Amino acid sequence: MCRKFHGAAFGTLVSVTDLNWLSGKDCLKEFTAPNGTTRTFCHICGSSLGFRSKGMPPEDIEVAISTFDSDIPVKVDAQIFTSSKANWCSLQADIPTFKNART
């Protein structure tokens, strides 16, 4: 699902609580899939902006870090759902991997 959502080999997301959108809030739309996950996107250009798993509190969101214009202080600390990775994608050996969700 992440590959389709991001149009890339994997999703790069950062967890945020109580996100304050500085601009464009009126352009945001959400889609809830049958499995309960909610995707936030721009209804003007279609850019994928965020993700919320079923059961996540509404104040929490996983934000697509590729949408930031400037550097942000995050570091990749896990590779999750590697059991469904694309066959052409290589994992980074120095970062912990999880076949499914982080445990």
What does the pLDDT average to over 54-83?
88
pLDDT-based confidence at residue 8 (cuts at 50, 70, 90)? confident
Q: Mean pLDDT across the chain, nearest whole number?
A: 88
Give the pLDDT confidence score for residue 17 in this predicted structure. 95
Give the pLDDT confidence score for residue 5 in this predicted structure. 67
Evaluate if residue 65 carries a pLDDT over 80. yes
Domain ranges of the chain: 2-18+25-68
**97-to-1, 64, 75, 81 alpha-carbon distances in Å:** 18, 20, 15, 8
What Rg, from alpha-carbon coordinates, does the chain have?
Answer: 14
What does the pLDDT average to over 51-74?
88
Give the pLDDT confidence score for residue 12 in this predicted structure. 83
